[in-house]
A = this chain, B = another copy of it.
Amino acid sequence: MSAGRYTYLGPEGTFTEAALRTLPEAATRELVPMVSVPAALDAVRDGTAEGALVPIENSVEGGITTTLDELAFGRPLVIHREVLLPIAFALLVRPGTGLTGVKTVTGHPAAQAQVRQWLSRHLPGAVWESAASNADGARLVQEGRYDGAFAGEFAAAVYGLEPLATGIHDASNAATRFVLVGRPARPAAPTGADKTSAVFWPRDDHPGALLDLLQEFAVRGVNLTRIESRPTGQGLGRYCFSVDAEGHLTDRRVGETLMGLHRRCLKVRFLGSYPRADGAAPKVARGTGDEEFAEAADWLTRMLDGPG
C-alpha cells in the first residue's frame, strides 16, 4: 500500500530530507531514502510510494538533469508541490586543518560568487580553483589536492572532512528547489499563486522554433520562471524544453498557451500545476485575466450569432 510513504533522494541527513521535513504532511508519512532519483521515482510509478521528493533545480549548480530527464522521458509523473531550501555553504577541510592551513580552496564555479565576501574577509590569500561540482570539490580535498572545499555541511561526513565554518552565503537568495512528485492526477485547485510545469518537443528543427514557441507564452502574458533545454537523444542540436510558467492550468491564459504548444509541437508533456513555495501571486497583464478571456468568449459568441 503506497499511501503514507514518501521516498526521497537519500541518503538520510542530506538537504533533500531536510526539504521533505518542511512539508506538514511529511509528519504523517513514512519517509524512505532511495539511492537515486530514478529509484525514488520508480517507487511512485510502481505504487510502492505515494510521492517522491527530488531536487530539480539549484541556483548554483543548475538543473538536476536526472530529475528533468526522468520527468520528460520516463513513465509519466506529475509535480504536486515544490519546496525551496536556502543554500548555505560550509568550508570543509581534512581533520586537523586550521584556517591558517587553508591555502587553496575549491567548489563549483558558480559557488565562487556565493563565498567571495567570506573569502576576502577570512582567507584573503587563498587561491580558488573550480571543481566539477561541490561534492567533487569535497572529494578532491579528501584526496589532498586542495585544502578546503565549499559544499553542504552534510558532505563532511560523506568525505571524511570537518566543517571549519558553516552558514556561508552571500546576500542573494541561493537556493535548491525540490519537487514532490506523484502519479498523474487531477491538479490541485488553484491557490492564486501557482506554477505550471511542462516539457515540449518542437516539431521543427528550424532555428526560429524556440522563438516561435516562446511567442505562444508571450502573446498570452504567461511568464516563465525556468527554461532548460534537454537533448532528445535524436542528435546534437535536437532539443526539448523543460519550463515552469506562472499560473495554473485552469487559468485560461495558461490553458490556451499549452494548447497552442500542443498544436505546434511534436509533443507536450504536462508536468503539473501546484502552489508556488514563495506564495508570490503572478502579475496578470491587462487582457490576460480569466474574466477578460470570458468576456472575449462572450463577445465571440455574440459575433457568431450575429453582431448587433
Residues of A whose CB lies within 8 Å of any CB of B are 35-39, 42, 57-63, 65-66, 69-70, 72-74, 76, 78, 84, 108-114, 129-133, 136, 140, 145, 172-175, 177, 183-187, 203, 206-208, 210-212, 214-220, 222-239, 246, 249-250, 255-256, 258-260, 262-264, 268, 270, 286-288, 292-293, 295-297, 299-300, 303-308
Contact = CB atoms under 8 A, between A and B. Distances in A.
Contacts of A184: 306-308
Give 10 closest A-B pairs by Cβ, nearest first. A184-B308, A207-B223, A186-B306, A259-B296, A264-B287, A263-B287, A110-B233, A66-B132, A184-B307, A69-B109
- Name the residue among A62, A210, A293 with the largest chain B CB count within 10 angstroms: A62
Contacts of A219: 212, 215-216, 219, 260
B215 A215 contact: yes
Counting every copy of the chain, the complex holds 4
A121 B185 CA distance: 35
B62 A231 contact: yes
Contact of A270 (B185, B235, B303): B303
A41 B293 CA distance: 33
